[in-house]
A and B are shown apart, each in its own frame.
Chain A
Amino acid sequence: MERDTNFILGVYDDEDVLLHAIKKVRSSGVKIHEVYSPYPVHGIDDVLGYKRSKLPIAAFLFGMLGTSLALTMQFYMMRFDWPMIIGGKDFAAVPDFIPVTFEMTVLLAAFGMVGVFMISSNLKPWAQPRIFDVRITDDKHVMAIDIANNSSMDLEKIQEILKSSGASEVNKKSFE
């Protein structure tokens, strides 16, 4: 068979079959390009060998940025730039600064983290995704195998492995 397609796709109907299949396919030496699912499948990152996302760290750092910006802003405005006596309070009435500080921490943590997520996952309105199968967003899990990455393996062998791992269909897909 000619190597004219770029991807071999294993289509799975069930999440548990999929999880076993990923283990089986990886242990037989086939490199998986990516697995596409209609919903988050628990435990899939472990069997695919993905590391835990670093997004929580981004959220924490952006949150800290929010805290320090808010405190700096309030101390600068209320204590240094234009101190005024308000209700006999201290110029730097720290307890009064906490609500705004909290809100700005949450705001920056949320927006910073979501921004990083959008950039790292390439999510943007004008993005043109590679859709391997339109049923991915409906009811099928698709395991995509890049032929170029598995050049040492025979094409039929890969298809055989996918079939025996429980795939309901084995298809080919090429992109320009």
Chain B
Amino acid sequence: MQVTSPIRQPLVTGGKTYHDVTHDVSRQVEGKPTLTWFLAFLTAVGVLALGSLALMATLWEGIGMWGLNKTVGWAWDITNFVWWVGIGHAGTLISAVLLLFRQKWRTSINRAAEAMTIFAVICAALFPVIHMGRPWVGAIWALPLPNTYGSLWVNFNSPLLWDVFAISTYFSVSLVFWYIGLIPDFATIRDRATGLRKTIYGALSFGWDGAAKTWSRYESVSLILAGLATPLVLSVHTIVSFDFATSVIPGWHTTIFPPYFVAGAIFSGFAMVLTLMIITRKAFKLEDYITIGHIELMNIVIIITGSIVGVAYITEFFIAWYSGVEPEFYAFYNRATGPYWWAYWSMMTCNVISPQLFWFRKIRTSIVATFALSIVVNIGMWFERFVIIVTSLHRDYLPSSWAMFYPTITDVGLYMFSFGLFFTLFFLFAKFFPVINMAEVKAVLKSSSEKVIK
């Protein structure tokens, strides 16, 4: 028996019964798609189609189509890669870390957040893959296969190779974790359906029958997967930060990078979860499941991680000066006052100042303010990666090599492509998959609902 504090807010409002949970979530899957869904989906597909022109141009002509030059060899591609991977982190944090901490409020948001993780990692992986120039031969360069140039293997000293292992493990483990959670809910839809839908969801549900023995195994699998995914998610962004931190570029080789990148990832990921969940709860009328309480808790995570990121910015600036290494300090001074000052100050405003507004209860419980600030945070986090990557590179060691980076239409198109891909996948998920984990919400319903259902 669990004891629930009488002063704590209920997780699910509106006095829902178990059957109401099933009905409210399944009706999205069973009903005809709404006009709003169609318009949103077609917009996403349109953006994807337009962006695919840039993808084809890159694959056909090569990465010379991008705005890179000899000095700035990494720009929007790696910025987008780090940004998308970071966004993915919130899903794992919600499903794995909050499971280990026994935070019951995660149950109504974990499904959509994990879906977001998987789609964001797909978008992220796109960028290093096309950066290979010829990805169809790139598989041999990136995987530990004996290649055709002799018995030469991949270089296990390189953080770029660690990234290959980290991102692919992260993607596949997240996918498995997400799917295991979906199996009981697919069974729910199977048992309500007839005809073709019954066949499809029957296959997707893997013959789930709800036996106590299977539930017991399911729970131990979830717990262990959460235990594995927690260090995994921390390792992924740590390894992404190693791409920079193990180099010798001033502004990059900083030991603060791993924790600072992980905090930044969770920060931007929660912002993206909020953006998506605020739309989803409204469009699918799930206000009783994703309550203001959920939004407020996510905003508190944003204040914490946003403040960690703010402290990290100030610390690295201070250490750059305190170390007495001139090129190091110049790299930071140039960020704030050089030709990219506007990017630096956009980052500082969006990431350090704007989340502090959530200290006001009125703002963090306001849906409009949360939605606006969640987008501001993601703009800021994109600028953070752009600032780290481009401003550290553009002032090379020799002033004769100093250069600026100007994105081409292909760079913009590829970024659009990743957005189109992400939202196309997300809208498909929202229509055909149960967006809320019904089984887990039912499991916390009795101990946390307004009304105890007898």
Residue ranges of A at the interface with B (Cβ–Cβ < 8 Å): 13-16, 34-42, 44-45, 48, 50, 52-53, 55-56, 59, 73-74, 77-78, 81-82, 84, 86-87, 89, 93, 96-97, 99-100, 102-104, 106-107, 109-111, 113-114, 117-118, 120-132, 134-139
- Choose the segment among B186-194, B296-304, B409-417 that binds chain A (4+ C-beta atoms closer than 8 Å): B186-194
Chain B, interface size: which category?
A: 35 or more
CA distance A103 to B164 in the complex (A): 10
**A-B interface, 4 closest residue pairs, ranked by CB to CB distance from nearest:** A127-B207, A139-B18, A123-B206, A77-B153
Query: From residue A86, how far is it (CB to closest CB) to chain B in Å?
Result: 5
* Sampled A-B contacts (30; CB under 8 Å): A16-B1, A34-B213, A36-B209, A38-B442, A40-B219, A50-B213, A52-B220, A84-B152, A86-B155, A86-B157, A87-B157, A93-B157, A99-B159, A99-B166, A100-B156, A103-B166, A109-B224, A111-B173, A121-B213, A123-B183, A125-B204, A127-B207, A135-B191, A137-B190, A137-B208, A138-B188, A139-B17, A139-B18, A139-B19, A139-B442
Q: Does B137 have its Cβ within 8 Å of any Cβ on chain A?
A: no
List, in ascending order, chain B residues with CB within 8 A of A41's CB. 212, 215, 443
Q: Min CB distance, B100 to chain A, in Å?
A: 14
Taking CB atoms, residues of chain A closer than 8 Å to B229 are: 110
> In this assembly, does B216 line the interface, its C-beta being within 8 Å of a C-beta of chain A?
yes
**Which stretch of B3-11, B44-52, B57-65, B231-239 is in the interface?**
B231-239
Query: Per DSSP, are chain B's interface residues mostly helix, strand or loop, or mixed?
Result: helix
- Closest Cβ of chain B to A67, distance in Å, is 13
Smallest Cβ distance from A47 to chain B, in angstroms?
9
Residues of B within 8 A of A106 (CB): 169, 173, 228, 231-232
In the bound complex, CA of A132 to CA of B221 (Å) = 25
* Chain A residues whose CB sits within 8 angstroms of the CB of B207 once the complex forms: 122-129
Q: Do B157 and A37 have beta carbons less than 8 Å apart?
A: no
Considering the complex, give the chain B residue whose CB is closest to the CB of A44. Answer: B212
Residues of A within 8 A of B215 (CB): 37, 39-41, 44
Contact A34 B211 (CB under 8 A): yes
| Contact indicator per residue, chain B 132-173, by CB within 8 Å of chain A (1) or not (0) | 000000000000100000111111110101100110010011
